[in-house]
A and B are shown apart, each in its own frame.
Chain A
Amino acid sequence: MHISRKGPLGRWICVLILGMSSMACESDILRPKINHSTFLKLYGGANDQTGIDLVQQTDGGFTLLGSTTSTDNPITGGMDRNLYWVQTDSLGDVLKSQIYHRSPEDHGKAMLKLPDGFLLLGEMISQNGLKNIWLIRSDLNGIPIWQKELGKEAFDDVPEDMILDADNHIWIVGTTTDINIHKQEGFTSDVDVSDIYLTRLDPQGNVLWERRFGFEGLDEGKSLVALSDGRVAVLGHTDFPDPDPQELDLLFFLVDNSGIPVLSQRFGEEDQEERAVDLLAQEEGGLILVANARRDSIRKPYVITLSDPNQQGVGQAHLLEVSGMVSGIAELPSGGFVMSGSTAANADKDFLLLRVGADMQLQWTRTFGSAGNSFGGAILAPSDSAFVFVGTHAFGSNRMMSLIKTNQEGQLNP
């Protein structure tokens, strides 16, 4: 039997019974609010899962991509790591899930929602033990329609991000160790480690062209977005000219639809490390470049705002005074941004959620988690009052794919 706190009788009885705390009857509750507007959900089985990417469906549900080594895995029984795809309702309850097996070590990297299905971007191990790109086109139930393996057998080709352009062509960015093509004579693996890999595919996954960008040393591609003028912006990092991993800078460039660079910029402080994470296009045409910087051995989010990507030297750098690393960013409908990631907590790492204003001033940070290392992945801001991010949550001796939905204050409490 429950009594509505709104009714005068209910309130009178509440005060009578709970007597010693009439305040409880003012603000609280004989009948709890039925409120699942926030939640924490874990997915997976015994052993290890990761949560990397996230998209929202039109019905309010979510689709998550990561990987699993669960011993309950009906395909490989936990012997291999496989792509793990989960579809939930708006409350985070599982509706469907799939496991995709290609090699002993498959990792989910990025996902796109199509009108009639999904595009899943994965990393796999080729027969000769090198990393390759694995692209899966599935229907709405996650059943594969076609699959493509991209990259050269003799090299590592590691995918990181994927977009669709206006022609429904698929763009993939990542990193390759295929460094000798298009380089000047004398480049060898002794002086060049990796380059940024960029490819464009038709809607059936056939390669239209492949490009490699970079300098000597380490160059890695991390994210890309399509601009309204048909160009594509790419974000990565490079250690050129100083091959010291502690001195990485952000490398940003625009390419036309043939993959030809039309503009490039470097961002970062001299003798410091900035690692590229994500790239976000704003409606008004600006770009947000998200990275993690290292300052005195402490990782901090580092953001470049580009009001006009086509103009050189207009970037404004913001180093957020937060100890932690971000991995995803989402823009709020009313302005400002939320970012997900991880932060050190005691000897472990917890989920990190932070909000900044449109001026990149830090508004608040939240942490979630307990013992073990937890990492946030992609984040969505469906509204100003709800933030959702996927992640990898340490749970006992296991790691689970996780989905956290918070309120506008970044809290799980309603």
Chain B
Amino acid sequence: MLMRWNLPGAFALVLFSFSLSLFGQVKESSKTACETLFAESQQLFNAGLLGEIDEIGLRGCMRNQSREYFSRVSKLLILKYLYLDQDSIARSLLVVLLKTQPEFAPDPADPRELKEMYAEYNTVPIFMIGTMVGGNLSDVQLINRYSIGSSSQSQTSYRSVSSYQYRLTAARQLTPSLFFELGVSYAVRRFRFKEELVTDANPTVNFTSLTFIEHQQWWDIPIGIQYQFPGIPLAFQGKLVPYVSGGISTHLLINSRLDDFRRLADTRNNDNPPQVELTTEGEKINIYEHRRFLDGAFHLGGGVMSKLKLGYLVLDVRYRHGIRSLADPSTRYGSGSIPYLFGYVDDDFSIRDFSLSIGYIRNFYRPELTRKVKKLIQETKKQ
């Protein structure tokens, strides 16, 4: 489609393009000037002419330049005041640097004085918040069998079916390595149930095979402790931080249904099958009224975190061990419900599951003197 241009429109476009170009040139010019100023200041610092450094100019440049420039200038000024024995100014500059760039850390080649002062500050995140998504495999623990068929002549099996979960997680630092974790998850857990005849001892009729997939939706509220190990430097950049975690959790079941419910008659004694369907294939049966809505669990896990900007990419593995039977005994045979309609009675069972999640956790910092240093300062003041 052709666009029609009128004169004012064309003029405005030209003016806008010119402004953009001019802004770019000004910014480029400013960058060059600031880099020149830093280079001159570095030379003066190296020459020991600390008083000649244009600190006002540098501070002006810090406002407009990159984070990396801010970091370089801050470090230069901190060192200047360290060498001038004006530690308080150096400290305030370091705190400003750590607040704006909490990921800042001295290079190995940096002067010892800077490294020592940096070491007096807590520079790990005090609070983390993030989100994770992943898959899980649920494993049913059979506690007590029930069946409207004959338990002694049939076999019940539960098999894992993959599913998924979303998690919001937050952590508060307790010590530099230890964090208190709190989360909330929406999790779908599934498992396949099968009951089938396993003996030919009974020569007469039987209705046997019963299969379904139970589909449960949960709100999980885990609390626990996370311990972070020292980071493992990576060959290319940054480091991996392994961690282990453990705790307890409360679980609220918000829905539960049986999918693909099938009850088949046994036709092994019949020379002329076919399999006889006793219920409708693919039926979805709500079984929530037969479930306890509250469960508790222990969880253990671990994972690795890799630095990304002001947070971590996280790979988390977790084992959760439900402690309570999910079948509600008070409604197991509830009138007008599933046992009578579909010939299924709940076993007593609990669920444990493995989950694998990936996500991103944002770090929040509050740079301040470590407790050890604070204590030392207090003692010095007393003396």
Give Cα distance in the complex from A46 to B265, angstroms.
Answer: 6
- When C-beta atoms are compared, the residue in chain B nearest to A21 turns out to be B294
**Are B276 and A46 neighbours in the complex by a CB distance under 8 Å?**
yes
The yes or no answer to B21 lying at the interface (CB within 8 A) is no
* Nearest Cβ on chain A to B336's Cβ, whole angstroms: 5
The yes or no answer to B131 lying at the interface (CB within 8 A) is no
**Are A73 and B204 neighbours in the complex by a CB distance under 8 Å?**
yes
Give Cα distance in the complex from A247 to B250, angstroms.
Answer: 65
Q: Which residues of B contact A49 (CB under 8 A)?
A: 205
Contact with A along B327-338 (1 / 0, CB 8 A): 101111101110
Give Cα distance in the complex from A393 to B336, angstroms.
Answer: 12
The yes or no answer to A140 lying at the interface (CB within 8 A) is no
Number of interface residues of A (CB under 8 A): 66
**Are A39 and B146 neighbours in the complex by a CB distance under 8 Å?**
yes
Contact with B along A81-104 (1 / 0, CB 8 A): 000100011011111111100000
The yes or no answer to B345 lying at the interface (CB within 8 A) is yes
Are A45 and B329 CB-contacts (below 8 A) given A14-B296, A71-B276, A370-B337? no
Residue from the list A16, A17, A46, A99 in contact with B207, Cβ < 8 A: A46
**Are A98 and B144 neighbours in the complex by a CB distance under 8 Å?**
no
**Are A413 and B343 neighbours in the complex by a CB distance under 8 Å?**
no
Q: Which residues of B contact A413 (CB under 8 A)?
A: 329-333
Identify which of residues 99-150 in chain B touch chain A, using a CB-to-CB cut-off of 8 Å: 143-144, 146-150
How many interface contacts (CB-CB < 8 Å) are there between A and B?
172
**Are B205 and A32 neighbours in the complex by a CB distance under 8 Å?**
no
Residue from the list B152, B205, B327 in contact with A45, Cβ < 8 A: B205
**Are B153 and A93 neighbours in the complex by a CB distance under 8 Å?**
yes
Identify which of residues 230-279 in chain B touch chain A, using a CB-to-CB cut-off of 8 Å: 248-250, 263, 265-272, 276, 278-279
Identify which of residues 356-414 in chain A touch chain B, using a CB-to-CB cut-off of 8 Å: 367-371, 374, 393, 395-398, 400, 412-414
- When C-beta atoms are compared, the residue in chain B nearest to A42 turns out to be B148
Q: Which residues of A contact B153 (CB under 8 A)?
A: 93-94
The yes or no answer to B183 lying at the interface (CB within 8 A) is no
Residue from the list B148, B204, B248 in contact with A40, Cβ < 8 A: B148
Contact with B along A24-40 (1 / 0, CB 8 A): 10000111111110111
- Nearest 10 pairs of A and B residues by beta carbon: A45-B205, A17-B296, A412-B333, A46-B265, A46-B276, A370-B340, A70-B205, A94-B150, A93-B150, A72-B205
22 A-B residue pairings within 8 Å (CB atoms): A17-B249, A18-B294, A18-B296, A19-B250, A29-B325, A31-B143, A39-B148, A42-B207, A45-B204, A45-B205, A45-B206, A46-B207, A72-B268, A74-B269, A78-B270, A84-B204, A350-B336, A368-B340, A393-B340, A395-B343, A400-B343, A413-B330
